[in-house]
Amino acid sequence: MSRGLMRVLAVVALLGGAATGITGCYTACPAIGYVNGVVVDVSVFPETAAVQFCVDAECSPAPGEDETVSTNLFAASRQDDRTWRLMFDMSTPEDVDIRLFDAQGTVIHESEEPIAWTHADGPCGGPSTADPLILEP
């Protein structure tokens, strides 16, 4: 085989390998967001009818409040009689202020709770998870 042909084959092999390496290492992530959440166990407060939570100065709506631009990033939803799910935007706050309300809208419990997040480690990330927060009187 001629020296010129060997050079051409070597260049083709190098370029092919480089192209394969480049395309093999690139991951296209979808342009969608995700919501981080944590479960709150309120079983020691059986009269809980609503939950509000705040991170810094941003809060989910309190009972009777409509969502606003500053509250629509957070939501609390009842899972069953003893648990609620707090949903954050894509943030993972270190702690959260939680308020529990009875059916009349009276605050029956208020506390600051730390959250220990486990972060997704895939190439595109994903929602973070946390152990449930168990409220105590």
pLDDT digits (tens, 9 = 90+) for 101-133: 999 999 999 999 999 999 888 777 788 999 999
Which tokens is 45 given? 């407060």
Asked if residue 4 has pLDDT above 50, the reply is: no
Q: Say what the pLDDT of residue 30 is.
A: 72
Q: What is the DSSP annotation of 90-134?
A: S---SEEEEEEE-TTS-EEEEEEEE--EE---STT----EEPPEE
What is the distance between the alpha carbons of residues 30 and 95, in angstroms, rounded to a whole number?
Answer: 29
CB atoms within 10 A of CB 38: 23
